[in-house]
Amino acid sequence: MFDFQKLEVYQKSKKLCIEITAILRERSFDKVTNDQLRRASFSIMLNIAEGSSRFSNKDRKNFFVVARGSAFECVAIMEYLVETNEIGQDVFADYEKKLEEISKMLFGLIRSL
């Protein structure tokens, strides 16, 4: 098992990415929105994994900062989708809560480095 696989924030990010992939399969958003949301959700998970492979705290921190930025990006896309009536407020609130938790966990990792 790799170190990143033991991180709770990685596990939550992976679960979120899988959920978002399922939503994108179920619904028909425009191509740009689908692509951006898919890439942003993958970015959270993948940057946590890649950051954990780095030897210096500075390098690790940079990847965790990028992962956190991608979480913010997901919230912005979801907010756009709720405001354009593509998803309901309840769906948005659920994902916003999950992304906020991931963001706080990443912030904790960033501060610890």
Which pLDDT score, from 0 to 100, does residue 28 have? 82
Computed on alpha carbons and rounded to an integer, the radius of gyration of the chain in Å comes to 14
Express each pLDDT in 88-107 by its tens digit. 999 999 999 999 999 999 99
pLDDT of residue 80: 97
pLDDT, position 31 = 94
Alpha-carbon span 75 to 79, nearest angstrom? 6
Q: For 6-65, write each residue's pLDDT tens digit.
A: 999 999 999 999 999 999 999 989 999 999 999 999 999 999 999 999 999 999 999 999
Q: Amino acid identity, residue 75?
A: V
Instruction: Encode pLDDT of 59-87 as tens digits.
Output: 999 999 999 999 999 999 999 999 999 99
Q: What is the DSSP string of 55-73?
A: SSHHHHHHHHHHHHHHHHH
Q: Show the domains of the chain with their CATH numbers.
A: 3-112 (1.20.1440.60)
